[in-house]
């Protein structure tokens, strides 16, 4: 029985090299003699398995098991899994375990195999595989990496001829499409109906990774919450307000459900900046979705709100850097409700302030965005100010109440195209 499952999975795997592969900007290397457990995690269908197969093929002989299969969840003796892999693949010492979070007590199994000398590459669609708990789960040495749907540079590679350099106007046009459609690989590479695909993916993630795993009885409650959050990306929220709007039973329930959604890589939130940690913990947060296309498929307000779509793209790019350990991410708000979208900390220092505004052609809009940056600059003692927009590329000095600061105006496509090179993985 187990051998048959592994054999069928091997046949499916052998068909994958026929599919087009777009090189991912994930900094994972696997050198000879490297015995670190490689952990690749991220949203479902973001391309983890496809990438992992290309990575492990560098080792030569390997075995593969996909645990996103209900028949494997019932296995009691994990040695039977290794026996089936040995029978099908000929006693490999390198193993790829896909969607490992579906296997009960997976960490004990993986640790034992590493002690026995196996080289392991595992993937999972649960953020706990990248949390501080991972070091506790995996007593052996490991390296963790996150793979999101296509970044903008990967989207460009997937949607055109990689050998032809695009003009700034062409990249701007591509960004407009990317902002609405997102970066999930399959709809782009296989020309399938994107909206139906993403709606089905969302439902599958909700039920497989959340409802089933956490035994949620009020399915309607978490569906309503997901719809509300994805219809309000780039907006501030409070647990009390969300509890009222979504008719969830309590603030505690809302908080718990949002954590579940974050663990499944559907959404993430960033806190409002404060120098006082306790004060920061009690403040509202802003919600974002891990992919624009997924939010557009689930939500209902995006066709006209280019500003929210653009801000979400920046949030995702910066979130990858935060997961990689390069930065800490916040937003800033003054007592007068002026706002700066992103406060980027490196260590203990505020390194840069980033404002996102789709259209700054109106002088009043430009002045408002620059004034917020300058005020935040004074309060947070940061001089690197960036205003991302659709097309303008220049540095402009802005004065407000006797304070002068240079502000870099930069097209969003230029910012996004170069993010992967600095610690971002995805």
Listing DSSP states for 221-251 in one string gives HHHHHHHHHHTSTTEEE-HHHHHHHHT-S-H
Dihedral sign, CA of 101, 105, 110, 111? positive
Tell me, yes or no, whether 100 and 231 share the same domain.
no
Who contacts 275 (Cβ-Cβ below 8 Å, separation ≥6)? none
Give 331-385 pLDDT, tens digit per residue.
999 999 999 999 999 999 999 999 999 999 999 999 999 999 999 999 999 999 9
Residue 426 belongs to some domain of the structure: no
Residues 35/141, Cβ–Cβ less than 8 Å:
yes
Residue 299 DSSP SS3: coil
Task: Compute the distance between CA of residue 252 and CA of residue 393 in angstroms, rounded to an integer.
Answer: 45
Give 125-146 pLDDT, tens digit per residue.
887 776 656 666 776 688 888 8
At which of 245, 280, 312 does a domain end?
312
Cβ-count burial 316-346 (b if 16+ within 10 Å, e if not): bbbbbbbbbeebbbbbbbeeeebbbbbbbbe
Question: In the prediction, which pLDDT does 279 show?
Answer: 66
* Tokens standing for residue 264: 């499944």
Q: How many domains does the chain have?
A: 3
Task: Return the CATH number at 215.
Answer: 1.10.10
Question: In the prediction, which pLDDT does 418 show?
Answer: 80
Q: Which domain holds residue 296?
A: 152-312
Tell me the CA distances in angstroms from 202 to 230, 266, 299, 313, 379, one per residue in order. Answer: 11, 8, 11, 19, 40
Task: Compute the distance between CA of residue 226 and CA of residue 201 in angstroms, rounded to an integer.
Answer: 13
Regions of the chain where pLDDT drops below 50: 421-426
Task: Compute the distance between CA of residue 221 and CA of residue 219 in angstroms, rounded to an integer.
Answer: 5
Task: Compute the distance between CA of residue 366 and CA of residue 364 in angstroms, rounded to an integer.
Answer: 5
Question: In the prediction, which pLDDT does 208 show?
Answer: 87
Tell me, yes or no, whether 306 and 371 share the same domain.
no
Residues 103/70, Cβ–Cβ less than 8 Å:
no
Residue 111 belongs to some domain of the structure: yes
Tell me, yes or no, whether 308 and 385 share the same domain.
no
Question: In the prediction, which pLDDT does 155 show?
Answer: 95
Tell me, yes or no, whether 303 and 371 share the same domain.
no
Tell me, yes or no, whether 304 and 216 share the same domain.
yes
Task: Compute the distance between CA of residue 242 and CA of residue 255 in angstroms, rounded to an integer.
Answer: 10
* Tokens standing for residue 172: 């701007």
Residues 229/275, Cβ–Cβ less than 8 Å:
no
For the chain, the distance separating the N- and C-terminal CA atoms, rounded to the nearest angstrom, is 37
Question: In the prediction, which pLDDT does 387 show?
Answer: 98
Task: Compute the distance between CA of residue 341 and CA of residue 332 in angstroms, rounded to an integer.
Answer: 7
């Amino acid at each position: 029985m187990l051998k048959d499952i592994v054999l069928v999975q091997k046949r499916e795997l052998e068909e994958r090299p026929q599919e087009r592969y777009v090189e991912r900007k994930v900094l994972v290397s696997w050198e000879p003699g490297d015995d670190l457990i490689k952990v690749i995690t991220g949203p479902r269908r973001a391309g983890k398995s496809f990438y992992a197969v290309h990575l492990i093929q560098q080792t030569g002989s390997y075995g593969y098991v996909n645990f996103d299969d209900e028949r494997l969840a019932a296995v009691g003796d994990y040695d039977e899994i290794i026996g089936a892999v040995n029978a099908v693949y000929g006693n490999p010492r390198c193993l790829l375990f896909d969607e490992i979070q579906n296997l009960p007590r997976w960490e004990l199994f993986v640790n034992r195999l590493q002690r026995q000398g196996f080289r392991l590459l595992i993937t999972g669609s649960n953020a706990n595989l990248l949390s501080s708990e991972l070091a506790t789960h995996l007593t052996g040495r490991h390296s963790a990496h996150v793979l999101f749907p296509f970044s903008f540079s990967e989207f460009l590679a997937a949607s055109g001829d990689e050998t032809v350099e695009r003009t700034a106007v062409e990249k701007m046009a591509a960004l407009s499409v990317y902002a609405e459609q997102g970066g999930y690989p399959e709809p782009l590479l296989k020309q399938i109906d994107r909206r139906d695909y993403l709606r089905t993916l969302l439902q599958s993630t909700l039920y497989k990774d959340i409802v089933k795993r956490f035994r949620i009885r009020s399915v309607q409650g978490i569906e309503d919450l997901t719809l509300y959050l994805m219809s309000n990306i780039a907006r501030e929220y409070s647990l009390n307000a969300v509890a009222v709007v979504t008719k969830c039973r309590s603030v505690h329930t809302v908080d718990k459900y949002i954590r579940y959604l974050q663990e499944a890589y559907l959404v993430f939130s960033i806190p409002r900046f404060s120098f006082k940690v306790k004060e920061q913990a009690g403040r509202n947060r802003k919600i974002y979705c891990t992919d624009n296309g997924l939010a557009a498929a689930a939500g209902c307000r995006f066709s006209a709100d280019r500003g929210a779509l653009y801000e979400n793209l920046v949030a995702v790019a910066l979130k990858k850097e935060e997961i990689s350990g390069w930065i800490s991410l916040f937003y800033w708000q003054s007592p007068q409700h002026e706002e700066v979208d992103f406060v980027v900390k490196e260590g203990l220092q505020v390194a840069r302030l980033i404002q996102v505004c789709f259209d700054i052609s109106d002088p009043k809009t430009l002045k408002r965005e620059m004034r917020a940056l300058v005020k935040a600059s004074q309060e947070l003692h940061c001089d690197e100010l960036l205003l991302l927009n659709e097309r303008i590329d220049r540095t402009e000095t802005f004065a407000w109440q006797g304070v002068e600061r240079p502000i870099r105006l930069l097209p969003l496509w230029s910012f996004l195209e170069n993010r992967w090179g600095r610690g971002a993985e995805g």
